[in-house]
Amino acid sequence: MKRITTIMAATAALFATTGLARAEGELNIYNWGNYTSPEMIKKFEDQYKVKVTITDYDSNDTALAKVRQGGSGFDMVVPSQNYIPIWISEGLFLETDPGKMENFSHVAKEWQNPEFDPGRKYTVPWAMGIVGTVVNTDVYKGDINTWGIIFNTPDELKGKVNVVPEMTDVIDAAVLYNGGKKCTGDLAILKKVRDTLVAAKPNWVAMEYGTIQKMGSGDFAASSDWNGSAFRQRLANPAIKFGYPKEGYVNWSDNLAVLKDAKNVENAKLFQNFMMDPANAGMNSGFHRYANGIAGSGEFMPADMKGAPEIDIPAEFASVGVPSQTCPPEVQELYTKIWTELQK
């Protein structure tokens, strides 16, 4: 017994004394999981002799809560655009002025002066996408470019529909489906939204994230989903198509910013500039499978992404997209109540 105790203690001691080897330069990026191309990071590390550490988060709220409390040692973060005004107003970002950086000219026109960060004072585009529908067209032959797939499910799809449980995405979709505006506080519309959701729910089989696998395996025949995910599903099964709902859909983007309490500000700025280089942005897109807002990055993406109907928005649907934005707290509260009601 003594020996075992000794071994246990020795192992513990061994594990406890992990000396942190510190490289010359460092950069700590706090990002969504599975969202950063390791190849691209390697390139940055070699080019600037900086050791990059990536730490993952799984939601905007977690990232915000953690950074707000401070002390965690992150230099950069990649929040979604509807959270960026919150980060800015709470003074969590460092004003690095990417708009004046060398590579800024590569940023696509429509992303140069976004509403969430006027004049690009803080952020650099990382990835952007759409919340729409995916449908297995072997199962359902009708029109897939409508939220009706989710909210007024056709008979063929009943009991085979999944909804990705992102509260804001789901309720926004129902608002657009009912002819409302995103972040609406209009109670008449919201009442319809609640009724739509409650009536639609019995036709759903699940509310979960694992769409890539379950659409592929046939457990789901349709789902609400992101376009990058839809793209990967189509590569596995050509019958799975992405729908751009004609009632309107939300465009979102995630953007790279430097934190005010960053310890490695210079490296972080280098990385922001690095990300606006089409070659690097293209390499990153090849990994996360979304568009990136950098003009000319397409030629650095893998061949299968070129002209993909999920990545390049077809012209006929481009006009109905609405930008994702921060909803006022009182609207968020209404959303939460509807969501709780839906899932009670």
Query: Both tokens of residue 32?
Result: 């969504």
Report the DSSP pairing between strands 249-258 and 123-136: antiparallel
CB-nearer residue toward another protein: 100 or 181: 181
In angstroms, give the least distance from the CB of 332 to another protein. 6
CB-nearer residue toward another protein: 89 or 113: 89
Among the listed residues 23, 65, 199, 318, the single contact to another protein using CB under 8 A? 65
Contact 275, 284 (CB under 8 A): yes
> With binding defined as CB under 8 A, does residue 57 bind another protein?
yes
Q: Can you tell me the distance from the alpha carbon of 183 to that of 327, in angstroms, rounded to the nearest whole number? A: 5
Helix 167-177, helix 329-343: angle, nearest 10: 90
DSSP letters for 65-81 = HHHHH--S---EE--BT
> With binding defined as CB under 8 A, does residue 66 bind another protein?
yes
CB-nearer residue toward another protein: 88 or 294: 88
Among the listed residues 47, 62, 113, 152, the single contact to another protein using CB under 8 A? 62
Report the DSSP pairing between strands 240-243 and 204-206: unpaired
> With binding defined as CB under 8 A, does residue 321 bind another protein?
no
Site for another protein in 11-30 (CB under 8 A): 11-12, 15-16, 18, 20, 28, 30
> What one-letter code names the amino acid at 210?
G
CB-nearer residue toward another protein: 9 or 318: 9
In angstroms, give the least distance from the CB of 316 to another protein. 29
Q: Can you tell me the distance from the alpha carbon of 304 to that of 95, in angstroms, rounded to the nearest whole number? A: 37
> What one-letter code names the amino acid at 67?
V
CB-nearer residue toward another protein: 49 or 68: 68
Total residues contacting another protein (rule CB under 8 A)? 78
CB-nearer residue toward another protein: 103 or 267: 267
Of 181, 190, 195, 134, nearest to 160 by C-alpha is 134
In angstroms, give the least distance from the CB of 97 to another protein. 24
> With binding defined as CB under 8 A, does residue 77 bind another protein?
no
Query: Both tokens of residue 107?
Result: 């940023």
DSSP letters for 191-206 = HHHHHHHHHHGGGEEE
Site for another protein in 175-234 (CB under 8 A): 187, 190-191, 201, 204-210, 212-213, 216-219, 229, 232
In angstroms, give the least distance from the CB of 260 to another protein. 13
Of 256, 230, 234, nearest to 245 by C-alpha is 230
Contact 140, 154 (CB under 8 A): yes
Among the listed residues 49, 68, 141, 306, the single contact to another protein using CB under 8 A? 68
CB-nearer residue toward another protein: 23 or 318: 23
Site for another protein in 145-184 (CB under 8 A): 165, 167-168
